[in-house]
C-alpha cells in the first residue's frame, strides 16, 4: 500500500529524530511513503484553541492536498497532528456549517474521505510480522512502559482503533521487537501537553509522576509516539532533577527508535543522540538487554 505522509512541523524541527528513525525503519520494512506536496501546519496546538474555523481549515487543507495527489490515506506520526486531522475531517463530514466555511475559506470542495492513520495503526497493519522476522538485536532485557498520552486514542468515538483507557496496540508492537511491555497505570495520563512553555511547573510534576509510575512497575524505558510527550518527558528531566534531587535520568524513546534498535540499527543513526536524557543510557540499556 502507498501511504501519504504528513510529517508535520515537529518532525521537521524539534523532533527530527522521530522522522529520521521512522524513515529508516519503514525503509527497512519495505513500507513506502509519499510525502504530501506543499503540506502545511495542521493547527496543533495553537489554532484549535484560538479559532475553530481556522483549526478545521488548516487540517483540511492537508487532507484535500493529499486527495488531489491521488492518495487514499495519510499517515500522521505525531499524535497531535493525527488528532487534528482525524477530528477536522470528521467535523467537516458531519457538520454542514463547518464544511461550507472550510470549503469557502480554502476555495476547494471536500470530495472524499481519506483514511487518517497513526503510527501504531501503520505498524500493526504493515509491519508487525516484518519486525519480528527482521529482528537482529536481542531486547529481552528491555522493560518498556508504553505511553499513549492524551491524544492518540481519544476521542474514542472518532479514533476507534483502540480502547481509550486500556489500549494495547503499542504493547503488541513493542513485543514484536522482543522487548517486554510492562503493565502500569499512567499509559494514557496527560504529561502537561502544550503547557511545556507556559506552565512548566505543571509539566514537571505531571511528567515526573508518569516516569515514577513506570519505574515502580519495573520499566527501564518509556516508549512514546508523540513529539510533545517526548519533549515533556525527556527534555524536562533536568528541571525534574533540580526540583526533585532524588530523580534519576530515565530514557524515553520514540517507538520507531526502539524498533530500529531491534532491527540492529545504530543509536546515532536513529537520532537517539539528539535526546536530552536518553543517549548516554542507550548503551547501558542495550547491554543489559543483551545479558537478558
Q: What is the CATH number of the domain that holds 8?
A: 1.20.1050.140
- Residue 9 pLDDT: 94
* Claim to verify: residue 176 and residue 85 sit in the same structural domain: no
* 110 and 142, same domain (yes or no): no
What is the spatial distance between Cα 26 and Cα 288, in angstroms, rounded to a whole number? 26
Which residue range is the domain that position 105 belongs to?
A: 2-119
Asked if residue 129 belongs to a domain, the reply is no
Task: Name the domain count of the chain.
Answer: 2
Mean pLDDT within 16-37: 97
224/1: higher pLDDT: 224
Do 149 and 268 belong together in one domain?
Answer: yes
User: Which range among 95-99, 123-127, 173-177, 208-212 shows the weakest confidence by mean pLDDT?
Assistant: 123-127
In a domain, 210, yes or no: yes
- Minimum mean pLDDT range among 50-59, 79-88, 218-227: 50-59
pLDDT digits (tens, 9 = 90+) for 34-45: 999 999 999 887
Contact residues for 134 (Cβ-Cβ < 8 A; gap 6+): 28, 29, 263
Q: Could you tell me if residue 240 is inside a domain?
A: yes
54 and 93 both lie in a single domain:
yes
The reply to whether 124 falls in a domain is: no
**Helix runs in 69-189, H state only:** 79-94, 96-106, 119-126, 128-133, 156-159, 169-176
Per-residue pLDDT tens digits for 97-122: 999 999 999 999 998 899 999 999 99
Task: Tell me: do 284 and 143 sit in the same domain.
Answer: yes
- Verdict on whether the full-model pTM lies above 0.85: yes
Q: Tell me: do 184 and 279 sit in the same domain.
A: yes
Predicted confidence at residue 167, as pLDDT, reads 97
Asked whether residue 148 falls in the same domain as residue 110, the answer is: no
Query: CA 153, CA 34: separation in Å to the nearest integer?
Result: 25
Amino acid at each position: 500500500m502507498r501511504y501519504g505522509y504528513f510529517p508535520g512541523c515537529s518532525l521537521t524541527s524539534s523532533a527530527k529524530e522521530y522522522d529520521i528513525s521512522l524513515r529508516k525503519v519503514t525503509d527497512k520494512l519495505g513500507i513506502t511513503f509519499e510525502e504530501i506536496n506543499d503540506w502545511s501546519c495542521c493547527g496543533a496546538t495553537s489554532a484549535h484553541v484560538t479559532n475553530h474555523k481556522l483549526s478545521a481549515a488548516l487540517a483540511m487543507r492537508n487532507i484535500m492536498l493529499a486527495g488531489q495527489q491521488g492518495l487514499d490515506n495519510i499517515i500522521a506520526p505525531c499524535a497531535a497532528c493525527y488528532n487534528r486531522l482525524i477530528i477536522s475531517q470528521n467535523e467537516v463530514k458531519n457538520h454542514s456549517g463547518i464544511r461550507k466555511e472550510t470549503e469557502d475559506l480554502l476555495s476547494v470542495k471536500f470530495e472524499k474521505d481519506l483514511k487518517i492513520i497513526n503510527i501504531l495503526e501503520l505498524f500493526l497493519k504493515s509491519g508487525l510480522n516484518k519486525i519480528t522476522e527482521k529482528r537482529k538485536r536481542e531486547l529481552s532485557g528491555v522493560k518498556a512502559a508504553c505511553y499513549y498520552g492524551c491524544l492518540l486514542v481519544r476521542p474514542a468515538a472518532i479514533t476507534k482503533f483502540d480502547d481509550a483507557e486500556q489500549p494495547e496496540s503499542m504493547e503488541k508492537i513493542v513485543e514484536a521487537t522482543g522487548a517486554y511491555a510492562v503493565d502500569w497505570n499512567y499509559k494514557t495520563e496527560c504529561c502537561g501537553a502544550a503547557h511545556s512553555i507556559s506552565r512548566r511547573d505543571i509539566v514537571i510534576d505531571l511528567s515526573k509522576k508518569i516516569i515514577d509510575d513506570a519505574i515502580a512497575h519495573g520499566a527501564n524505558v518509556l516508549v512514546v509516539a508523540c513529539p510533545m510527550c517526548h519533549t515533556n518527558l525527556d527534555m524536562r528531566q533536568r528541571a525534574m532533577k533540580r526540583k526533585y534531587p532524588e530523580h534519576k535520568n530515565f530514557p524515553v524513546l520514540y517507538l520507531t527508535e526502539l524498533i530500529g534498535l531491534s532491527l540492529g540499527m545504530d543509536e546515532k543513526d536513529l537520532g537517539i543522540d539528539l535526546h536530552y536524557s536518553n543517549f548516554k543510557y542507550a548503551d547501558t540499556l542495550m547491554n543489559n538487554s543483551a545479558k537478558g
